[in-house]
Chains A and B, each alone.
Chain A
Amino acid sequence: MATVIGVDVGGTFTDLVLHDAATGEIRVAKQPTTPSAPELGVLAAVDAAVPPDLLARCGHFVHGTTVGLNALLERRGAKVGLITTAGFRDVLEIRRGDRDDPYDLFWTPPDPLVPRRLRAEVAERVAADGSVVRELDPEGVRQAARLFAAEGVDAVAIVLMNSYANPEHEVLAGEVLRDAGFGGPISLSHDVSGEYREYERTCTTVVDAFVRHRMGPYLHNLERELRGRGFAGELLVTRSGGGALTLAEAAARPFETILSGPVAGAVATARLAAALGLHTAVAADVGGTSFDTALIEDGRLPLLFQGEVVGLPLQSPWVDVRSVGAGGGSVAYADSGGLLRVGPRSAGADPGPAGYMRGGTEPTVTDAALHLGMIPPGHISGGISLSPEKAAEVLAPLAGPTGIDGADGVAEGVIRIATANMAQAVRGVTVERGVDPRGAAIVAFGGAGPLFGCLLASELDVDTVVVPPNAGNFSAVGLVQADIVRSAARTMVRPLDEEALPAIEQLAGSLFERLAEAGAVRELDLDLRHRGQEHTLTVPVRLGEDDVAAIADRFSAAYHRTFGHQLPDPLEVVTVRATTRVVLDSERPLVPAPPSGPAAGGTTRVWSFSGRAWTQAQVVQRESFIGPVEGPLLVVEPTATTYVDAGFTAEAHPSGCLLISRKDGER
């Protein structure tokens, strides 16, 4: 086992987690993020927490970065030129003709990442079956090269029609462009995505070209700085679809990292669920602005293969983490129809909830929790002092317009509505995959997650809540648990019959060849559908073992589970997906909480949601808590407070987790 450092750059803070293989020691550090130069926060965290001799012993440095995402958010990336098939240069701008808000008369799409004058057409055509209808005209590519040179284009995306079925013209166009003197990076669409749907593939390829310009220099610079400090191991970058990429791979395929932000929490939940033997787990990560949830079945991450970021579709694997605007900072208000509403707007970290006494004036979810005694008064980390009085002051004015009884009623309402919003998101990720949430365990983490664990359990009829150690920093643990993962996919629409298997095998072989990685485990998945349908389900396939019937059975079972019925119609293969995985370490310890926490002991006045009344709750220190103890109970630790309602029993689990169970007969 090697020593691993994980550093995740968030919007506000850069988090570092280190696991020292020699001593078993875990270190955690936090530094403010410098948005304009994120490597500064990374290096500051390293300098603060990792002495040079320890850095020199590190085998892997796993980095979660938002450089790619920020490039898109800020529209600061390469000046990209696009080469398309003649007749199709506007695909990027026409999109799919839909609107983000179907009821907005004035909605206009964001400007295309490549302006029209830099979208060059080339005479050529490949048909859907891969046959060549018209040969590529190399002179068209040379003309494009001259245009790009004159315009000072940094990077070029080449997207030709049906290249998923036959990539020869894209390869040729790339060669001609290079021969014509273009020296910058070239992104070929079949190489980036390999899936059909020309707009989505064009967009993914353009995004790749756009962010590569920033990602490569950033990563190489970071590596140089780390080497200068004595780091001799391998730099890895977290991937949207789970796992991590090598530096070279991340610099070459940066679009695969863009949706990686919320993935670490899901990875950490998956590892925890596997370690505890939880068959179905729901990650419930409540931060300042959002609630992020994901369904983990048998320790597996829920994957999707087309995502979206700032309105741009990406054909890239990503972990299906659903976010809703219900976090600790979410603002409560009375709407013009007289109903109490919560979020999605957030008071953010600055000024934050009113009860933090840092200038906030709007009532938030945290203020409601503070007023109800769910967070004991006093101080929390960061030297923030909590004021229940201030919280009550901002909650009370909502009583009038909504007809709710006083600040108590408003506070209870805010928490109930926030909980219901979170529960809807959980129903979304479970029911859509045919899973009944009642059988799941809720893994509650993030700064405010442990406040909501029991409430979510009540709302969803769930019996078990798990609060991992150091719950406020649990997401960062996912970083040091990454495998090295690479993937490639190719669309091949054809019937699933006996002749399909050799074709799949051949295609898989060529995909795996591109992914060649020593010591890697190979995984193959197929997107399948009933002939006539459009939407697919992805099922794993074991080449050489599975026959057509076995694959069809697996699909039917998945279909039945997801949609509640089965169909006799024949099956069709749509896309072949190859993944390689190098498992770095199968076991890594959970991160324990730091040894000192806030003062605890005695009792405090708290609102019980199950009893709908004020009551007295014990306050205990998480570090020394063993249990079992029946709620109402508050378990406090430096980064979070766990609220255990009446009707639930909490105890410490040998893993370091807090295990909360609903008492028998309380459903």
Chain B
Amino acid sequence: MTDIVRTRYTEAHPGLGDGADPVTTEIIRQGLNAAADQMKQSLIRTAFSPIIYEALDFAVAFYDADLCMLAQAPTLPAFMGTLGFCVQEAVDGVGGPGAINPGDVILYNDPYGTGSHPQDAAMVVPVFVEEGEALVGYAVIKAHWLDIGGKDPYCTDTVDVHQEGTIFPGVKLYDAGRLVSDVYRMILANSRMPEMVIGDINAMVAGARTGAEALTALVRRYGIDTFRRCVARMYGHGEALVRSWFERLPDGVYTAKSVIDSDGVNGRPIPFGVKVTVSGSSVTVDLTDCPDQVGGPVNCPLPSTVAAVRIAVAFLAGAGEQPNEGHFRPLELVTRRGSLFHPVRPAPCFMYGIPSDHAIELIIRALAEAVPGSVPAASGGDINALVWWGNREATGEPWADGAPHPVGQGGSPVSDGASALMYISESATRLTPAEVWEARNPWRIERLALAEDSGGPGRHRGGLGLDLSFRVLEDQYLTSALARTALEPWGLSGGLPGRPNRLTVEYPDGREEDFSLKTRIFLPKGALVHLRTGSGGGYGPPSERDPEAVHADLREGYVTLEHAQRHYPHAF
């Protein structure tokens, strides 16, 4: 028996926005986006973990009292429009809207509500304009804590969600402005790096409160009734923008299939497919063509599946606007409860990003036929996350660091793919400078280079992957969270594939070993870790590449003579 679930947007008060002043609506829309940005800047500038301030592994947003998204600041696209689920669950957790008070801060990190792993903890701050008056909405921050328990700081081999971290299912961290020390102490007792986590908690609470104040000021300025009417009109506006783009697509059903390397536990490949149905100005994305939830942590909880669909659409139809609930109205998602893209407790989901990231690129690929000229070949396809930790030799102090790494982008109908950019789900993320790494961690970076010959050949070749070598100067541990190490980045329209991602550890005794999903690899002092990130696939047949472009690549050393002669004989 199948259990099919259709997920759409949150509908609220149709017709409310009809009489709203369009000028005030535009001013409020801009004001909400600016307030969300203030919340983001505050968090970036006060956070303790590089994963927040450098990798921007967080999301900040405002929701109205009906749990429609008012605004979300641009950070990690992977978290696009996912916070509504966790606000709902967080508020339900503490007893519903009737049980919340001004000054409350609700902590929530259940993976099935956040869509990600327990490290991604949300702080929900209810916003009241005046004491004793109705709730206006919520300011929410979800950010990655370096550690909140679990079998390892970063896990690629969990078999249930309980191994992945301590779960806070919606509890008050602040109750009417007072810190609930029982909860606070529980957080600290469950973290391997309590000091970092305290710093980040303070930054998150301060950021969410900054946001709540900005939202309050905006509502006060216009009055709650005008605010609500204008917001309703704003949602209608967002919907109209996205529909006007979808209307241009030919109606039809578009599909694509791919394979995930492994679930991290049993090593078997996981095939799945996407089906996109365009009908008028509405789009339905069906992700039911996938196995039942798997034994390893690559299950993708529903909120992250929703995000994957929204990101794919934002990349194609977003028109560069900051989204609100209205932008999501033309979209419907179909999933199957108990499956890879809609797992149920206690399925492990620590590496939820692997299926979600893969689905984004596959949805875009499926639409290649619907929007010819708008879709590039595959990129390296993963964020290539590495997480490192240990205790410093001299002081015994614990340290940890973790980061995504860039990949080559696919060749496109208009140009060669860009080299070494972050995967699109983390496209705002930045690579940490080697000098900052070396000042902070017991490493020496021996190589940070573009990988010659790595781009998939084509009329427009794929962008180059990255070769990065870390010499470890003290004993430490590494968790490798690489996906797409087996699947070559696909070419399109006759272009050839690029190279997949690869991680090799070269031990001091000369032994070498490759890893993809592997938790807690011991690295003795002196080991050398080589990360070779994937490149982009090519677009169009290599035989159509402009000979001048081949020679330019040769001159600058992006390709070797041997590679050029093999793939582009017509240029010689």
Contacts and interface: CB of A to CB of B under 8 A. Distances in A.
B375 to A, nearest CB: 8
Interface string B235-252: 011111100100000000
Nearest to B19: A403
Contact of B428 (A94, A102, A336, A417): A102
Interface in B209-224: 209-210
9 contacts: A108-B409, A109-B421, A338-B22, A417-B23, A420-B27, A534-B53, A564-B209, A565-B206, A569-B195
Nearest to B47: A533
Interface of A: 87-91, 93-99, 101-109, 115-117, 125, 127-128, 133, 161-162, 164, 196-200, 335-341, 402-404, 412-413, 416-417, 420-421, 424, 427-428, 431-432, 493, 530, 532-535, 562-565, 567, 569
A104 B418 CA distance: 12
B448 A91 contact: yes
Which one of A96, A162, A199, A200 has the greatest number of beta carbons of chain B within 10 Å? A96
A107 B415 CA distance: 10
B447 A533 contact: no
A530 B418 contact: no
A424 B239 CA distance: 25
A126 to B, nearest CB: 10
Contacts, number: 205
B244 A336 contact: yes
Contact of A196 (B29, B41, B236, B439): B439
Contacts of A102: 74, 77, 427-428
B439 A493 contact: yes
Nearest to A125: B444
Interface stretch (B96-104, B313-321, B476-484, B562-570): B313-321
Contacts of B27: 416-417, 420
Given A91-B448, A133-B444, A563 B42 contact: yes
Please give me the 3 A-B residue pairs with the lowest Cβ-Cβ distance, nearest first.
A97-B406, A413-B23, A337-B237
B418 A109 contact: yes
B367 to A, nearest CB: 11
Given A91-B448, A115-B556, A534 B50 contact: yes
Contacts of B26: 339-341, 413, 417, 420
Contact of A103 (B53, B202, B318): B318
B434 interface: yes
Contacts of A535: 44-46, 53
Contacts of A161: 434-435, 438, 445
Interface residues of B, number: 82
Contacts of A94: 406, 419-420, 431, 448-450, 466
B438 A404 contact: no
Contacts of A420: 26-27, 30-31
Contacts of B439: 128, 196, 493
Contacts of A105: 315-316, 364, 375-376, 412, 424
B66 interface: no
Given A337-B241, A339-B25, A196 B314 contact: no
B414 A402 contact: no
Nearest to B318: A103
Contacts of B427: 98-99, 102-103
A647 B196 CA distance: 52
A162 B415 contact: no
A23 to B, nearest CB: 49
Contacts of B240: 336-338
Contact of B34 (A103, A164, A428, A493): A428
Given A127-B444, A133-B444, A196-B433, A108 B420 contact: no
Contact of B199 (A115, A427, A532): A532
Given A98-B427, A116-B556, A563-B42, A103 B29 contact: no
A604 B148 CA distance: 68
Given A87-B448, A101-B320, A337-B241, A416 B23 contact: yes
Contact of A339 (B237, B431, B444): B237
